[in-house]
Structure 1
């Protein structure tokens, strides 16, 4: 089937070519086909995100040092006067964060409905729902020591953060419904919004930095798994390789700066904040440093997930059509098909063929 795999420059399928529906599926299974390459790299990205999520869980939840660092990062928000003043002087930020989540969900569904991409919109909404479902399962059943409140009841786990999972899930699902020429701009802006929402949840004391990082990685894993499934079914095709990166540069450049600066600053500060004593009293400067370290790492990981997804689908058209193809070779030449004309099947008109 290799001579008939024309992944670029092909003409769209003709309505009369319905009997050749199987060709797109067969071509997508070729070892060097575009769909196979997309499926391979998104599947690897999915597994990589799951691995990083496991490392975050093992390091920040299962170990006493990680839990102590997370608690110090949350407690340090009071020692950071700027953060404490921002949260105290603007109580409406909590309501604005909730409203932005609702509007983001409406935007995701609305864009897909306006563009009449109903199947992809359902898939994107399903990916967000799966992310939230996995988050609920992890919060309820993932082994971890749970603190006890004043009346002796167990405090529910916040790993991963459901709020951050919803924010990053919507942001990373937007590439499925937005036009390709504005994908980087819209997805980058939505990722920056999700990063800010995660930073606010840490500053308000609702979640630890590890909860936000896990939410971003979980959303990335689910979204990469969905794109790999679409590629497996031959629903992806090559896109234009020029002109798309510059349109999203006003957003992707700040996103790259946040990812790089956050990860570098976070890892540099991490070594100075892991040596906290096991018991109180704590130095306020150390708590403030732990809070800033957690904010930097959470912002860096969140921004990196958005950049990773944009890089994975940079040259991929996710509008739902199979890879464009044009048949050629001795069979088509014998059938007398024109060079630029209606798409025909791979066999001659007299159907003198044999599959072995």
Structure 2
């Protein structure tokens, strides 16, 4: 509590929280036009939008015969794409490197938070990754889909959404909670580029279809946005400091990320019209298969990059690493309050300090 808040006689003392501004932060967080309310509103809308897009992707690429045929053509087309074949043949160690990078990413996410002593935010970030993986597992096991069997008659397990991409992008977007505010754009942007590369590798090796990677990106975006909405509901956000000078440390990562999102979505949507016009049965033209593979790679990379950019845009000038801002009043109360003893903290009470909080 503030220095001019006297305990009520016979009442139970409330411990001071958040730099002695718990009462003001609680009032400010519940105000209709407060900063916390605005952040909560836009993150909640982003969560609902990601869920809606996930539903559209599921209906279009899993439940329809055309979507399933396009996904199968994209996976088969990796053998007709000389670039993918050359990379996989000349770099066989990519499989082990991908697995190692996922392990190191999990360790780095937790280690950064613990080193910076952000224990609650570290737990929230780890919980977000676990929740995204749980949602991915539930969709893989219980989401309705046509039964697919292989040549031996065995049931083919579903890969919708991709577990590897969910884990990679969950780590990348979870870093917004544990890294410092000034280096957030650089770190999250670089991690999102790595997550997009992991998704591209799973498509090139035939482990997942492009729709699986796209769905994983939307699942992670929905879970992370929902988590941020809860954090904002608790009043744990505050306005971030404005950067001074022309130097923007996040540009080396955000500019390539924006270019990947624009180029991937643009090229993927442009090629999608040609690749959807596949015949209902084999044989397929190798050129069409190669275009389907490249179209799927472009769309998957574009959606993954767009997910990272969307989260950075939602948290523009929003700091989740620190106590909430103190509640401030304007008008005659401030004029009568004089100069308070708590620095910049402005309270609703007058200078005589003879009052009680019920």
- Give your verdict on TM over 0.5: yes
Pair 1:81-2:82 in alignment:
yes
Runs of 4+ in 1 over 6 A off after TM superposition: 16-19
Shift of the alpha carbon at 1:26? 1.6
Quote the residue 2:214 is aligned against.
213
Quote the residue 1:195 is aligned against.
196
Quote the residue 2:249 is aligned against.
247
Shift of the alpha carbon at 1:290? 0.3
Quote the residue 1:322 is aligned against.
324
Quote the residue 1:127 is aligned against.
128
Quote the residue 1:260 is aligned against.
262
Q: Between the two structures, name the one with larger relative contact order (CA 8 Å, sep ≥ 6).
A: 1
Q: Do the aligned partners of residues 111 and 277 (structure 1) sit closer, same or farther apart at CA in structure 2, a change above 3 Å counting?
A: same
- What does 1:140-219 align with in structure 2 at a 5 Å threshold? 140-219=141-220
* More helix as a share of residues: 1
Contact 1:69 1:274 in 2 (8 A): yes
Match of 1:285 among 284, 287, 303: 287
Distance (whole Å) between structure 2 residues aligned to residue 292 and residue 245 of structure 1: 36
Moved more, 84-93 or 337-346: 337-346
Distance (whole Å) between structure 2 residues aligned to residue 342 and residue 250 of structure 1: 36
The alignment yields a C-alpha RMSD, in angstroms, of 2.2
Match of 2:273 among 271, 274, 280: 271
Shift of the alpha carbon at 1:153? 2.6
Q: Do the aligned partners of residues 329 and 104 (structure 1) sit closer, same or farther apart at CA in structure 2, a change above 3 Å counting?
A: same
Contact 2:24 2:326 in 1 (8 A): no
Q: Do the aligned partners of residues 325 and 94 (structure 1) sit closer, same or farther apart at CA in structure 2, a change above 3 Å counting?
A: same
Pair 1:104-2:105 in alignment:
yes
Shift of the alpha carbon at 1:340? 6.7
When normalised by structure 1's length, the TM-score is 0.90
Shift of the alpha carbon at 1:341? 3.5
When normalised by structure 2's length, the TM-score is 0.90
Quote the residue 2:92 is aligned against.
91
Matched length: 341
Moved more, 341-350 or 74-83: 341-350
Tell me the SS of whatever aligns to 2:62: helix
Distance (whole Å) between structure 2 residues aligned to residue 130 and residue 55 of structure 1: 21
Unaligned runs of 5+ in 1: 1-13
Unaligned runs of 5+ in 2: 1-14
Distance (whole Å) between structure 2 residues aligned to residue 264 and residue 341 of structure 1: 52
Shift of the alpha carbon at 1:239? 0.5
Tell me the SS of whatever aligns to 1:210: helix
Q: Do the aligned partners of residues 245 and 197 (structure 1) sit closer, same or farther apart at CA in structure 2, a change above 3 Å counting?
A: farther
Per-residue CA shift, 1:170-225, capped at 9, x if unaligned?
00010100001100000000000000110000000000000001101110111111
Tell me the SS of whatever aligns to 1:269: helix
Contact 2:163 2:216 in 1 (8 A): yes
Shift of the alpha carbon at 1:246? 1.4
Shift of the alpha carbon at 1:327? 5.0
Distance (whole Å) between structure 2 residues aligned to residue 230 and residue 15 of structure 1: 20
Shift of the alpha carbon at 1:150? 3.6
Per-residue CA shift, 1:95-114, capped at 9, x if unaligned?
10000000001110011011
Quote the residue 2:68 is aligned against.
67
Distance (whole Å) between structure 2 residues aligned to residue 16 and residue 317 of structure 1: 18
